[in-house]
Amino acid sequence: MSESELSASLTVSRRILILIAVVLGSTLYATTLLVASTLLPQMQGSMAATQDEIAWATTFNILATAIVTPMTGWLVANIGRRRLMVGCVALFTVATYLCGQADSLETLILWRVLQGGAGAPVVPLSNATVIDSFPRRQAGLVSSIFGMSVVIGPVIGPTLGGMLAEAYSWRWAFYMIVPAGAVATVALWFALPRDKASSGLRLDWTGFLSLSIAIGCVQLVLSRGQRLDWYESTEIIVETVIAVLAFYIFIAHALTAEKPFLNLRLLKDRNFALGLVLVFVYGMLNFTPVVMLPPLLQAHAGYPDSIIGLIVGFRGVGGVIGFFSMVFIGKLDPRIGMTLGFGLMVISGLWLMSMDLNTGEAMLLANSTLQGLSVGIVWVPLSVMAFSTMDSRHTPEGMSVFHLLRNIGSSFFISLSFAEVIASTSANYSRMTEMISPYSRILNLPSVMGAWSVDTLPGLSQLSKEINRQAAMIGYLNAFSMYTATAFAAVLLVWLAGTHKRPAG
């Protein structure tokens, strides 16, 4: 059944039910990602994990999403859209419940990987289903409703999740999503029209497996490198060799196969190639502050989970404002919109670089709103620019690569940022403790020491904790400097894009 035939066969009430069902299903993934970011400090204590280890709960979730997303077309062809949507949301809901039940770091990461992989096809399929179910003249309206709903969901999730985590435990922030997932599963089953698998579409397993192994090994190197002292470790060397070999196999196969998993010949399009670089950078900047701020605020600044959830939730408020602003900015040259969006990221990064452990809640709420605003502004012009010169026949395949790199950028940069925090914290702690000595005249001045003391063990313990707080703050500021420099580089890259129009076809 064609798109026009499908929309014509549906009643108005059936279309509205489909819209509600797919919006509910697609909102769940973004909500769980931000909720998990809010819960990182509590999960770290519960699992007796370090900062870089608990970050795996986020990075490997994003990585699973990145790997499974390009498989969406093959899954639809072999399973059918309705069964795939229902199955993915149901599996996602079960994985979310199991995340709340996890009793070790390994099981938590396993269920987060399953959660990310199950949720990966839901958002692209939801968007396509909404467009196909309504008449062409209403496409703009329903796409706006869909986009707005997906943006508002992550505002509510972290805020409510933070309150539940503070009142009960971090597990209840996952449990609260389970009823919504169950309702979405039932609603999708009854709302979506029946369809059949078309079959006949083969998956390039060589390309898929080699790319998955390469990405997975690189992520392991970035996640475990700092802890294992990088290339002093045999494990890191082995993972690097496997990643290089797998990536070589993927490139060689993609250039010689008739129907590769990802068509690298699309990179001949200048705007698309630049768009991939920029969407990779966009992914690097998108979730990194959201993942890094909660551990900093709870462990070192003493913020409660409810306030941290509110700060993360305000990012969604900025996203809503950015969404509305695109009504006007979208009429301009895409390079102007991207420059504005990435420029706001630079400002938010500079703002974060100026913070200290006494920073107030108002500043953090405003900065989180600014981050959301910048992310909301960048996405539409970036998508327009990347596909402005591509033949429309290649758009679905190009979109798969586009989303793949966005997710990979997020997982890689989060790992790099936490590696910088850990390395800087250790180095600065060592430097600052060198200055603590009973022979230092400055430390004998009451105006300098205040309540601290170097004469007793409790006093030295308190002083050590304060030095660690300050050393960690320097590490986070270094990570925010990386964020700011990357955003500034994106501003410069934007103007390399051409202004050609999409060719016919």
C-alpha 434: how far from its chain's center? 39
**Segment 264-305, tens digit of pLDDT:** 788 888 888 888 899 899 988 887 888 888 888 888 888 887
The answer to whether 374 and 486 are in contact (CB under 8 A) is no
Rg of the chain's alpha carbons, rounded to an integer? 24
Q: Do the domains 1-202 and 265-505 sit in the same CATH topology, yes or no?
A: yes
The total of other beta-carbon atoms located within 10 Å of residue 439's CB is: 7
pLDDT recorded at residue 466: 82
Find out if CATH 2.40.110.10 is the number for domain 265-505: no
pLDDT recorded at residue 366: 92
The answer to whether 377 and 341 are in contact (CB under 8 A) is yes
Q: What is the rounded distance in angstroms from the CA atom of residue 415 to the CA atom of residue 402?
A: 21
**Any idea where the domains of the chain sit in the sequence?**
1-202, 204-260, 265-505
pLDDT recorded at residue 238: 93
| 148-164 burial: b if 16+ Cβ within 10 Å, else e | ebbbbbbbebbbbbbbb
Segments of the chain with pLDDT less than 70: 1-10, 136-141, 143-155, 197-201, 392, 395-396, 442-456, 498-505
pLDDT recorded at residue 499: 61
pLDDT recorded at residue 504: 44
pLDDT recorded at residue 163: 82
Looking at residue 230, the DSSP 8-state letter turns out to be G
* 262: three-class secondary structure by DSSP: coil
Which H/E stretch holds residue 449? helix 446-449
* pTM across the whole model: 0.80
According to CATH, the topology of domain 1-202 is: Growth Hormone; Chain: A; (1.20.1250)
The answer to whether 240 and 222 are in contact (CB under 8 A) is no
